[in-house]
Amino acid sequence: MVELEPIEADTTAPRLRRTPRQARAKDKVARALVAADRLLAEEGINALTITRVAAEAGVSVGALYQYLPDRDAIVEALADQHLGRLEALMDSFVATARPEDPSDPVAVLVDAFAHHYRSEPGFRALWFGRHLTEWTSEADRRHKRDMAAGVHRFLVARLLLPDSPAAATACYVAFLAADAVIQEAFRGDPADADELLDALKSMLHAQLDGFTR
């Protein structure tokens, strides 16, 4: 069995030039990231210049530069936002998990995270284009560990897996496999993803059944 060690990183936050403190500054950064996400989805990475993002967001270049000085900083902030949303979603599943819940846990998780790929074209463009900085790659590794730990906690709360290192390792392997399949399912037309997602659910059911036998 592989013992999972926590990943340490020099930083767990994207490289903002400054952290916005006031409500007005936070609003400007939020608008800039919404604009950047849309530009990335519609036009690709080359559209993410400070000048273009500022214009689309309706903020001055100087104001944006105070917080997001270059394309890498924008990419990191977008990645941090998307990964944070997925982790918050997983936390919500763990918090509400109950043994008496009759729903299919595999379908619940796969459908929920597939929905993020389906409904967030900026996320797909970011990840499939692999416009990742060193920080973003490291954040993605931490994210996978955190998400796998969340899957384990969810299944333990549903009384479907034991709270053991072996089960935690199985969840980590299952999450890595599921993440790869979901990404592949949405590389093309999201409308065509269901066949791969159904196959993924069958695979995960077999793995879960094998572990609990």
For 128-173, write each residue's pLDDT tens digit: 876 778 888 899 999 999 999 999 999 999 999 999 999 999 999 9
pLDDT digits (tens, 9 = 90+) for 43-56: 998 999 999 999 99
Domain-embedded: residue 44: no
Cα separations in angstroms, 57 against 28, 44, 72, 84, 122? 8, 17, 18, 22, 16
Q: How confident is the model at residue 102 (pLDDT cuts 50, 70, 90)?
A: very high
Please give the mean pLDDT across all residues of the chain. 88
Between 11 and 203, name the one with better pLDDT.
Answer: 203
Q: Is residue 19 part of a domain?
A: no
Query: Does residue 21 sit within a domain?
Result: no
pLDDT at 189 over 90: no
pLDDT of residue 213: 61
Q: Does residue 64 lie within any of the structural domains?
A: no
Instruction: Quote the pLDDT of residue 12.
Output: 47
Q: Looking at residue 2, what is its pLDDT?
A: 33
In a domain, 30, yes or no: no
The CATH number linked to 198 is 1.10.357
CA terminus-to-terminus distance, the chain: 18
Residue 16: predicted pLDDT:
54
pLDDT value of position 80: 92
33 in any annotated domain: no
Predicted TM-score (pTM) of this structure: 0.85
> Is residue 62 assigned to a domain?
no
- Asked whether the predicted pLDDT for residue 104 surpasses 50, the reply is yes
pLDDT tens per residue, range 6-25: 333 344 455 555 566 678 88
Q: Which domain holds residue 157?
A: 78-212
> What span, in angstroms and rounded, lies between the C-alpha atoms of 175 and 49?
34
Residues of the chain above pLDDT 70, percent: 89
pLDDT at 27 over 50: yes
Instruction: Report the alpha-carbon distance of residue 51 to residue 163 in Å, rounded.
Output: 51
- Which single residue is written with the structure tokens 């009384």? 159
- pLDDT on residue 10: 40
Domains in the chain: how many in total?
1
